[in-house]
Amino acid sequence: MNSEYRVLINGELCEAATKETMEVINPANGKVVGLAPKCTSLEIDRAAEAAWKAAPAWAEKAPTERAAIFFKMAELLRARRDEWAKLETMQYGGPIFKTYNFDMRFDAEHFEFMAGVGRAVTGKTLPVGPQAMSMTIRQPLGVVGLITPWNFPLVTAISKITPCLMMGNTAVVKPPSCAPLTVLKLGEIAVEAGIPPGVLNIVTGPGSTVGEALVKHPYIAKINFTGDSETGKRILALASAAVKPVACELGGKNAFIVLPDADMKATVEGAVWGGFFNSGQNCGASSRYLVHESVYDEFVEKFVAAAKLLRVGDPLNPETMIGPVAYKGHRDNIERFVARAKKSGAKLLLGGERPNTPETKDGYFVAPTIFGDCDPKSEIMQEEVFGPVAAATRFKTPEQAVEIANDSRFGLCASIWTKDIRQGLVMTKQLKVGTVWLNQHLSIVFECPWGGCKESGHSKENSIMVLDEYSMMKNVWIDLIGTPATPWQGKLG
């Protein structure tokens, strides 16, 4: 694998002007995977200008022309599936079973999905009476800044790039510094697929400098961000100075609600998947388990027994279910959460210590950890740990479960486990979140909109609705009677 990577600006793969680089570390063993350019605001200026100049011609292209390029991108991604899945695993630790089967498949299919739905964008006609015809049209915004996280490095970037470009915008992408390499590789195939110079630009460098320069740049019409809620607040504050819109998809502390009649086998499988897939580094992870008191002991016993069977280790081994977390500082942060939860009186039921096997000794691993008898108001039930750490508590009535679930500054998603679909739907309407699953957790597909409320953000990813995030609605009024219909009609000579 190439160890030196290049940013993409105006169709050219280049270094930072300073020639400085950032090391990307494999969290499974602490070794360097590659070097990414450590850019400055200089590269943001160049990229924003290139995107600005490329915008009018790209906006004028027929959707069919953009779609043809997207199909080529999908083809090139499929041809690199093995190599890129491995690179993704090595740069942030997601197990190869995930990066190969989920991420790389999603990446190619997302280009195809958007190539289709982007050709089905419509406007509306509005009832304004016989004297005129009025309609809405959707138009591109111009240049959009896309700031992406590390927990699904390429997937989150592609989820933003495809609707952005398909709607006729141009883009400057800022990937995460700890895991930028697959997004940089995307720059290479963008050139090969024929994305015109300036339409897609990718610039790496620290969020505090390069990210902020992107947010503040006058050529950037909108920011679309996924990441931490605190970073989201900082970006919103910066953008507000220019009344610049920001779409954000932020953290979550998502409830997994088990009712007394739940199918226990399916529920436990869903609980392990929801809590531990991708080492719990999902904004949609089920991190708060609210369990009816009549089935709490049974659920907790079976949940712990099942989580014990998760294979933790080398993420390049196809059998591995839990790899390392993304970087050392993140591992240390998770461990601090666990230490505080132990002191808070929560009952440690599983894990809570660093795994120590030959496969894990040099990496940043966290053992699957489960706390029981948690106080719903405690930190472990309220804050996003973003690691393989689950916290459970009891409830007495469905109303109380909803009250506990809604007692959160986040509002991303929740799941309800029951055979009583009527009861599940009543609760679904009461939950203050953007997605509710009944008898499932973490089913995120690009046909369905994804995004929350409260401090989880307010925008949507995926589905045809995401195209609204990347376009502005323009109203057009066409006079049909030949004279302007004003109160001064006939009085002006």
Any catalytic annotation for residue 192? no
- Here's the x/- map for ligand NDP, 154-183, by CB under 6 A: it reads as --------------------x-xxx-----
Rg (CA), the chain: 24
DSSP tag of 490: T
Considering the complex, what minimum distance in angstroms separates the CB of residue 183 from ligand NDP? 10
Q: Which is nearer to ligand NDP, 207 or 368 (CB)?
A: 207
Give the active site residue among 49, 88, 249, 469: 249
Q: Is 89 in the site for ligand NDP (CB under 6 A)?
A: no
> 168: how many CB neighbours lie within 10 A of its CB?
24
Task: Kindly tell me which residue out of 18, 64, 208, 356 binds ligand NDP, with binding defined by CB under 6 A.
Answer: 208
**Footprint of ligand NDP on 105-164 (CB under 6 A):** 147-151
The helix (H) or strand (E) run that includes residue 134 is: strand 132-140
Considering the complex, what minimum distance in angstroms separates the CB of residue 196 from ligand NDP? 25
- What whole-number distance in Å separates Cα of residue 347 and Cα of residue 378? 12
Q: Is 27 in the site for ligand NDP (CB under 6 A)?
A: no
Distances (CA, A) of 61 to 10, 57, 76, 168: 18, 7, 22, 8
Considering the complex, what minimum distance in angstroms separates the CB of residue 366 from ligand NDP? 12
Count of CA atoms in the C-beta half-sphere (13 A) of 47? 36
Tokens of 244: 């610049």
**Footprint of ligand NDP on 188-207 (CB under 6 A):** 206-207
Nearest CA to 164 among 190, 188, 192? 190
Give the active site residue among 178, 283, 374, 413: 283
- What whole-number distance in Å separates Cα of residue 463 and Cα of residue 284? 17
Nearest CA to 182 among 64, 102, 91? 91
- What whole-number distance in Å separates Cα of residue 126 and Cα of residue 478? 11
Q: Which is nearer to ligand NDP, 235 or 413 (CB)?
A: 235
Q: Contact region for ligand NDP (CB under 6 A) — 102-110, 230-238, 415-423, 438-446?
A: 230-238
- What whole-number distance in Å separates Cα of residue 245 and Cα of residue 322? 37
Q: Is 251 in the site for ligand NDP (CB under 6 A)?
A: yes
Q: Which is nearer to ligand NDP, 158 or 291 (CB)?
A: 158
Q: Which is nearer to ligand NDP, 208 or 357 (CB)?
A: 208
Q: Which is nearer to ligand NDP, 109 or 228 (CB)?
A: 228
**Footprint of ligand NDP on 32-71 (CB under 6 A):** none
Specify the 3-state DSSP secondary structure of 23: strand
Torsion, Cα 287 292 293 294, to 10 degrees, reads -130
User: Hey, which bits of 293-417 come out as E strands?
Assistant: 347-350, 369-372, 389-395, 410-411, 413-417
Considering the complex, what minimum distance in angstroms separates the CB of residue 58 from ligand NDP? 24
**Footprint of ligand NDP on 267-286 (CB under 6 A):** 283
Q: Which residue has the tokens 């050709």?
A: 119
Q: Is 462 in the site for ligand NDP (CB under 6 A)?
A: no
Considering the complex, what minimum distance in angstroms separates the CB of residue 107 from ligand NDP? 17
Q: Which is nearer to ligand NDP, 162 or 231 (CB)?
A: 231
Nearest CA to 198 among 53, 61, 67? 53
Burial class, 328, CB count within 10 angstroms (exposed 0-12 / middle 13-18 / buried 19+)? middle
Q: Which is nearer to ligand NDP, 215 or 247 (CB)?
A: 215
- What whole-number distance in Å separates Cα of residue 126 and Cα of residue 401? 44
Q: Is 382 in the site for ligand NDP (CB under 6 A)?
A: no
**Site size for ligand NDP (CB under 6 A):** 27
Q: Is 384 in the site for ligand NDP (CB under 6 A)?
A: yes
Any catalytic annotation for residue 249? yes
Tokens of 378: 């405690």
**Footprint of ligand NDP on 327-346 (CB under 6 A):** 330
Nearest CA to 2 among 56, 80, 98, 58? 80
Q: Which is nearer to ligand NDP, 385 or 427 (CB)?
A: 385
Q: Contact region for ligand NDP (CB under 6 A) — 223-231, 340-348, 428-436, 437-445?
A: 223-231
With beta carbons less than 8 A apart as the criterion, state whether 74 and 258 touch.
no
Q: Is 250 in the site for ligand NDP (CB under 6 A)?
A: yes
Task: Kindly tell me which residue out of 15, 109, 112, 228 binds ligand NDP, with binding defined by CB under 6 A.
Answer: 228
* Residues assigned a catalytic role: 249, 283
**Residue numbers of the site for ligand NDP (CB under 6 A)?**
147-151, 174, 176-178, 206-208, 211-212, 215, 226-228, 231, 234-235, 250-251, 283, 330, 384, 386
